Structure 1
């Protein structure tokens, strides 16, 4: 590991005056965070979550904090802190001094240090991690890469992400596999109820459960570990969609007990847009066909899933800086702050007349995402008014049995932003009564 890093840094130095290695590795924001961390090190996690002076340091690290709009759709994609943006810009400048040289001979070798750093964050072996562009690509790699026969059963839910639902349906249409979908009415504050529903659907033909760690529509945290324990007893594999959990919830992938895990890094990790990660348990790698061509498709080398052709090396290298920034805060501290922000606005909104939440406020069942609705208004109407009049960016959600506006703060979100959200909802309700 250290050898790979040293070689990469040494080659950056040899690259000359195009980019300064010291500048590339300089983390002034992290230095500020280190000082802030020292100030709150005696506090509990809950106390830190509510310490506005501490979080102001982090807010100032994001250019999004000065945006003309209030961004509360971080469940879609999150902005990166300035240090990540600057790293990507500098790598791009380097590349454009000679793309074929700097990309293929230099930055291409920087993938291994990124892999190692992701592995440390995920608690896995580096040789179990493939770097790609998003959760859809990671999950589709497994969905299309599994050897399945006609009649084999896959169990998912109607509340999973549309791109993975369509992928499973396509396999069913083309190959005759059986794709079964459960349906849940969220919020659910009973893990055993969810586990039972999956278990009841299992038959001798069931090969895999597709489980979304955090339901993207309403933020329900699914009991993945318990589901995996149950599935193992039946000899069934589990693929986990971790798009909204990785970089936010404090966990290590092997702790979940799943076989496959895919995520986007441009959500709560705040890595550059267009970065993702696939994890496959070491002994399962050889059994999965690559989504794109590879000369050794049945090898046990995780890198067979990275045959993407030309990609953005600058964006890929920006992952390093995002992990540095994340680690400077700490996974658990970050999780507690985002949950604090969600509850801060949601508890106030719940007191407004006609407001309903589609999300539990109990910590074990949700973190950052929360669905809100106003009686007598469609999600599109509420979202439209929030954006047009108040410049608050949210996401209208109408999917299967879910109808709400998804609100997702991030660590750069201020309490003033959330106060404006609640006040805006109050004004929208008042206007509706007058109409």
Structure 2
């Protein structure tokens, strides 16, 4: 593999680009409705261009519809879909409308309503992404739905305790709050220092908080506001021998990190692929470990709600959905897997480290996200002395069309780095922040 600064052979680059742009094809001509899905391993990765090759990442950037003069750093809210994902969704929606009368209302038809069909091939692809089995995965519409399926699906009694943190997103906590109000369970959010100094500090907080009534630990894999990569594997190791169920909110993790739920050792894991996996909004999934699947009641019930032989499909009985969005999710997975989860993680963490290191050198800037390498991810939250979050957000946009997200008056802005970002955009951010900080001395 070429090293930094070496020219990548043109043939390798062409082979990579051809493989990357071979999306799941939904032909407009004719009446066949079967998608042609290319192999996720069409090219051996050791023959692809090195991730440090600028041509590689410049070409990746052009696969998105973001205007070239804009720098989009808000993936933590909503990721940008690659062109092939947008094209797949719109092509499928149009084809569905043009051939509606040809649907013979048989369940083997490839366009049978989503919400009533196992969608096994898509679940197999998701299983590859998180290293699970397809039967352990239910398709949902977002992470919030997955959280609610777990919160409302467990047989918890008054006084049973759920440990969480004070850093949870509403989509990851409110189902537990509702059960506390309705059913008398105890939801205990534990205070996490900002920024936490090391993983051991967080694990120790949980170890000291566990009581004989603790039944569940429900936490984010990566927190939304400050981008803390939580030590989820160590916390699951702490919980398992005590019989405590572990439920992980992976909304900010899948597509940012190379997630392996078996290595994490959690009992359940849910996510929103519309963020870091770059899928269309309206997609989500819930993983439940095989041994725990039958312990979870379904929250939404339709035809197969009590088919306990069907695995997680039993939890997909929520009525008619948008099949075109599922086709878009499949295309997003193909795009992600052709680049490679490890390659994505190396690229975006490397860029985020460039941002972190640059901010650390600017007087008047406080980094609120972790700098410990085991806790730091691709989201960096920081503030400039003398500026509110909205002011800093607006200045970055006004000066260079850099889109970050304000984190409230006192918590500055969150900058989420993904594969469509570049070192030049990071450096432009640092230049503006350096000037703003100097003006406020």
User: What secondary structure sits across from 1:217 in the alignment?
Assistant: coil
Map of 2:111 onto structure 1: 107
User: Residues 288 and 298 of structure 1 are in contact (CA less than 8 Å); yes or no, is this contact kept in structure 2?
Assistant: no
User: What secondary structure sits across from 1:63 in the alignment?
Assistant: coil
Structure 1's 379 and 424: CA in aligned 2 closer, same or farther, altered over 3 A?
same
Offset at 1:61? 1.8
The two structures have a TM-score, normalised by structure 2, of 0.85
User: Residues 186 and 220 of structure 1 are in contact (CA less than 8 Å); yes or no, is this contact kept in structure 2?
Assistant: no
* Alignment match of 1:322 (pick from 303, 308, 332): 332
Map of 1:56 onto structure 2: 58
- Equivalent pairs, count: 408
Offset at 1:69? 3.0
1:308 aligns with 2:318: yes
1:394 aligns with 2:396: no
User: What secondary structure sits across from 1:353 in the alignment?
Assistant: coil
Equivalent residue runs for 1:414-433 within 5 Å: 414-433=422-441
Structure 1's 98 and 404: CA in aligned 2 closer, same or farther, altered over 3 A?
same
Offset at 1:360? 2.7
1:333 aligns with 2:343: yes
User: Residues 26 and 91 of structure 2 are in contact (CA less than 8 Å); yes or no, is this contact kept in structure 1?
Assistant: no
Equivalent residue runs for 1:27-426 within 5 Å: 38-40=47-49, 48-64=50-66, 66-99=67-100, 105-108=109-112, 111-295=119-303, 297-300=305-308, 301-398=311-408, 403-426=411-434
Map of 2:30 onto structure 1: 17
Map of 2:8 onto structure 1: none
Offset at 1:398? 3.5
The two structures have a TM-score, normalised by structure 1, of 0.86
**1:30-49 Cα distance to aligned partner (Å, 9 max, x none):** 98xx5996253xxxxxxx44
Q: Give, in whole Å, the separation in 1 of the partners of 2:195 and 2:81.
A: 30
User: Residues 55 and 411 of structure 1 are in contact (CA less than 8 Å); yes or no, is this contact kept in structure 2?
Assistant: yes
Q: What is the RMSD computed on CA atoms of the aligned residues?
A: 2.7
Structure 1's 200 and 369: CA in aligned 2 closer, same or farther, altered over 3 A?
same
Offset at 1:280? 0.5
User: Residues 89 and 325 of structure 2 are in contact (CA less than 8 Å); yes or no, is this contact kept in structure 1?
Assistant: yes
Offset at 1:99? 4.4
Offset at 1:242? 0.7
Q: Give, in whole Å, the separation in 2 of the partners of 1:20 and 1:290.
A: 32
Offset at 1:385? 2.1
Offset at 1:63? 2.0
Structure 1's 35 and 257: CA in aligned 2 closer, same or farther, altered over 3 A?
closer
More helix by share: 1
User: Residues 136 and 290 of structure 2 are in contact (CA less than 8 Å); yes or no, is this contact kept in structure 1?
Assistant: yes
Q: Give, in whole Å, the separation in 1 of the partners of 2:418 and 2:185.
A: 39
Q: Give, in whole Å, the separation in 2 of the partners of 1:387 and 1:245.
A: 26
User: What secondary structure sits across from 1:77 in the alignment?
Assistant: coil
Offset at 1:153? 0.6
Q: Give, in whole Å, the separation in 2 of the partners of 1:49 and 1:269.
A: 18
Q: Give, in whole Å, the separation in 1 of the partners of 2:322 and 2:401.
A: 32
User: Residues 396 and 406 of structure 1 are in contact (CA less than 8 Å); yes or no, is this contact kept in structure 2?
Assistant: yes
Structure 1's 340 and 12: CA in aligned 2 closer, same or farther, altered over 3 A?
closer
User: Residues 172 and 220 of structure 2 are in contact (CA less than 8 Å); yes or no, is this contact kept in structure 1?
Assistant: no
Structure 1's 278 and 427: CA in aligned 2 closer, same or farther, altered over 3 A?
same
Of 413-422 and 97-106, more deviation after overlay is shown by: 97-106
Unmatched tracts of structure 2, length 5 or more: 1-24
